[in-house]
């Protein structure tokens, strides 16, 4: 059923090695950082279909020239 590295004994040994390397105090922080990194990667991949510049171009196109003169740069 399980082949390769996904055998239960391999997973138990891997968990033991990780526990020895990181220790019980740093293990939750390492897991949290790994989860945050995976979440950011997932967000960046899913947002690739919609480039952020399209929204900015649409906002600038909707402004009139008078609005551009009144708005200070950087806002």
pLDDT tens series, the chain, 75 aa: 556 767 888 889 988 998 898 888 888 898 899 999 999 999 888 865 555 555 555 555 565 555 555 666 655
Judge whether 52 and 44 are in contact, CB under 8 Å.
Answer: no
pLDDT of residue 30: 86
What ranges in the chain are assigned the alpha helix state H?
Answer: 8-46, 52-62, 65-70
Give kind and range of the element (H or E) at residue 72. none
**Residue 29 and residue 15: Cα distance in Å, rounded?**
15
**Residue 34 and residue 37: Cα distance in Å, rounded?**
5
pTM of the predicted structure, to 2 decimals: 0.44
């Amino acid at each position: 059923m399980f082949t390769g590295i996904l055998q239960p004994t391999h997973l138990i040994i891997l968990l033991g090695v990780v526990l020895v390397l990181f220790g019980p105090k740093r293990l939750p922080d390492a897991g949290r950082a790994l989860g945050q990194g995976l979440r950011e990667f997932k967000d960046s991949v899913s947002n690739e279909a919609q480039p952020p510049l399209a929204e900015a171009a649409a906002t600038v196109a909707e402004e009139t020239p008078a609005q551009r003169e009144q708005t200070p740069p950087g806002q």
